[in-house]
Amino acid sequence: MIDMARTTVSKAIVTLQELLSGLDKAYWEANTADNKDFFYDIIHAIHVELSELNKLSIQDHDLHYESVTESFGVAQVKLIQLNKYMHELVLHSGTAASLERMIPDALTLTMRE
């Protein structure tokens, strides 16, 4: 799990990119439109957050990370739901196991000190 005191912008970007990759797999594996919509909402929020983070200069990547978009904060609720209902929403066990490892780090990013 990520150490809150040491979560830099750079570490947040890596964490979000890894989560995005796992969520993308889950999206394509989903067998209902509702599940695809669920994953799409989270994916979109992460894309928006990463887009804003990528606007920062490289010198800012060592700074303490704070969410820069409201949509990523809202996506935290869906990440909690996904974590709780993982095996109903994610069909492939490998994808589920991957997401189970990544979600706690992403949730830690959105927590306030």
Instruction: Show pLDDT as tens, one digit a residue, over the chain (113 residues).
Output: 444 456 887 888 999 999 999 999 999 999 999 999 999 999 999 999 999 888 877 776 777 677 778 888 888 899 999 999 999 999 999 999 999 999 999 998 866 44
| Tally of structural domains, the chain | 1
pLDDT at 4: 46
Domain that holds residue 64: 4-110
Retrieve residue 83's tokens: 């974590």
What one-letter code names the amino acid at 64? H
- Phi, psi dihedrals of residue 97, rounded to the nearest 5°: -65, -40
pLDDT at 112: 47
CA distances from 104 to 7, 24, 34, 60, 111 (A): 14, 17, 24, 24, 11
pLDDT at 110: 63
Computed on alpha carbons and rounded to an integer, the radius of gyration of the chain in Å comes to 14
Please give the Cα distance from 10 to 14 (Å, whole number). Answer: 6
Helix and strand element counts for the chain (H, E)? 5, 0
pLDDT at 111: 63
Please give the Cα distance from 9 to 58 (Å, whole number). Answer: 10
Q: Which one-letter DSSP state was computed for residue 62? A: G
